[in-house]
Amino acid sequence: MPTACCLVPSPNHTYPGHPEAPERFSGLGGWRSRSYAAQLLWLDPSPAGAEEVGRVHTARMLKELEQACRQGPAIIDLAPTYVTRGSFDDALAAAGGALACSRAVLDGTARNAFALVRPPGHHAEPDRPMGFCLLNNLAIAAADALARGVRRVLVFDFDAHHGNGTQAAFWDEARATYFSTHQENIYPGSGQLESAPHARGRIVNLPLPARSGDAAFTRIADEALAPLARRTAPELILVSAGFDAAWRDPLTALGLSPAGFAALAEALVALAEECCQGRIVFVLEGGYQATAVASGAEAILGALTGSGARPEPDPSPYPESDIRPRLDRLVEMHGLRQSQSN
Ligand SMILES: [Zn+2]
C-alpha cells in the first residue's frame, strides 16, 4: 500500500518579516528523485468543513477568527500570530490536508501518510488561535478519527515547542493519549513535567534542555514512547512533526540532525507496525529553516515508505545534553518501566 501525502503551501498566508512564511517550503521536492517516489500517493484534499472543525474549536472562536481574517492583515496575538484576508481559507485547507491523510489511512487507501501543510496547528486551542497557528490541524484529524469509530489515538509531538493546543483539545478525552517533547523555558511556557496530574500516563510532557540532540530522541522513543504505545494500544498514531527541533532552526535549539529525524521516524513507523497495522499520520507543525524542513520531510518519507532512504547527513556541531535524570523521572511518573508495561 502507498504512503499518502498532501501539500498545502498556502502561498498567500504571509506577513512581512514573519518566520512562518511560504519560504519554509522552498526546499521541498527532493522526494521526486528518491527511490520511493513511486510509492507516494498525492492527495488533493478538500477544505475541512464546519462539522470537522467544530469538533475541536468553539463556534465563537471560529466566527471571531474568520472575521479577523476578513478584516486582515493583522497581528492577533503576541507570538506574534498573523492573519491575512485569505488565512481562514488557508487554515481550512491545511486542516483538510490532515483530514484527507488520516482518512486515507483509516479507509485503507494508504498504509500511512504525511500532511505537509501550513499554517501549522498545535498551538491553536479550542477557543483561540495562538502561536502562528490558526486551526489545530492534527487535533481536527484525531477528533475525526475518533468520530469514525477509532477507539484510541496516540499523538506524539516532537515540535520544539509544547503543543498546548493539542493538549487542551484532549485534556479530558480518555481516548486520546498525548506525548510532547519540547525545549524547556521557551514559548508557550506550558508542558511542565508535572503538568496534567489528572491524566498521568495519558498526557505526558517532557521538557528538554537545549541541544538534547539525536541520541536523546532515540532514548525517548525506546524508553518512554514505546512502552506508552504498547500500554495504550492505539488504533491510530498521529505525529506533530515540527522541524524546528533541528539544530539549524533559527528560533529554537533542540539539536536534532537529519539522521536523528530519520531514526525517530523509523522508530515511530516501527511502533505503528507493531501496535496498529502501520497506521500512522505525520502532520507538519513548525520548522523555520527551509533546508532543515526539507531534509526532515525526506527523513519522514523515507521511513514511511520503508525504503531505508535517508537524507544527507548534517550532524550538529554541538555536544549533546544529558537527559537521563529527567527521562528516568518521566518514566517513573507515568509508570512506563518496561517490566510494568508487559
Ligand atoms: Zn514549534
- The DSSP line for 47-69 is PPPHHHHHTTS-HHHHHHHHHHH
In the chain, what are the domain boundaries? 3-341
Q: How far apart are CA 174 and CA 314, in angstroms?
A: 40
Distance from residue 12's CA to the centre of ligand 1 (Å): 21
Distance from residue 58's CA to the centre of ligand 1 (Å): 23
Is pLDDT above 50 for 341? no
Q: How far apart are CA 237 and CA 158, in angstroms?
A: 13
Residue type, 18: H
Q: What does DSSP say about strands 176-183 and 153-157: parallel, antiparallel, or unpaired? A: parallel
Distance from residue 242's CA to the centre of ligand 1 (Å): 6
Are the beta carbons of 92 and 140 closer than 8 angstroms? no
Cis bond upstream, residue 80 (ω within 30): yes
Are the beta carbons of 140 and 98 closer than 8 angstroms? yes
Which distant-in-sequence residues (6+ apart) come within 8 Å of 291 by Cβ? Answer: 27, 248
Backbone angles phi and psi of 112, in degrees to 5: -155, 180
> Residue 240 has what pLDDT?
99
Residue type, 162: H
> Residue 338 has what pLDDT?
81
- As a whole number, mean pLDDT of residues 9-19 equals 98
Distance from residue 288's CA to the centre of ligand 1 (Å): 9
> Residue 12 has what pLDDT?
98
Distance from residue 123's CA to the centre of ligand 1 (Å): 9
- As a whole number, mean pLDDT of residues 119-148 equals 98
For cell 502501520, the residue is: 278
Average pLDDT, the chain: 97
Q: What percent of the chain has pLDDT over 90?
A: 99
- As a whole number, mean pLDDT of residues 216-243 equals 98
- As a whole number, mean pLDDT of residues 56-61 equals 98
Q: How far apart are CA 38 and CA 95, in angstroms?
A: 25
**Which residue in the list 123, 162, 182, 334 is annotated as catalytic?**
123
Stated as kind and residue range, the H or E segment containing 49 is none
> Residue 92 has what pLDDT?
99
Which distant-in-sequence residues (6+ apart) come within 8 Å of 49 by Cβ? Answer: none
Distance from residue 161's CA to the centre of ligand 1 (Å): 4
Cis bond upstream, residue 19 (ω within 30): no
CATH superfamily name and code, 3-341: Histone deacetylase domain (3.40.800.20)
Distance from residue 84's CA to the centre of ligand 1 (Å): 21
> Residue 125 has what pLDDT?
98
Are the beta carbons of 81 and 130 closer than 8 angstroms? yes
- As a whole number, mean pLDDT of residues 249-257 equals 97
Question: pTM for this structure?
Answer: 0.98
Is pLDDT above 90 for 340? no
Q: What's the distance, CA 80 to chain centroid?
A: 20
- As a whole number, mean pLDDT of residues 335-340 equals 79
Distance from residue 159's CA to the centre of ligand 1 (Å): 5
Distance from residue 244's CA to the centre of ligand 1 (Å): 6
Active site residue 198: no
Q: How far apart are CA 133 and CA 136, in angstroms?
A: 7
All three cell numbers of 243, joined, read 522541524
Is pLDDT above 90 for 339? no
CA distances from 323 to 154, 163, 266, 273 (A): 23, 20, 21, 27
Cis bond upstream, residue 258 (ω within 30): no
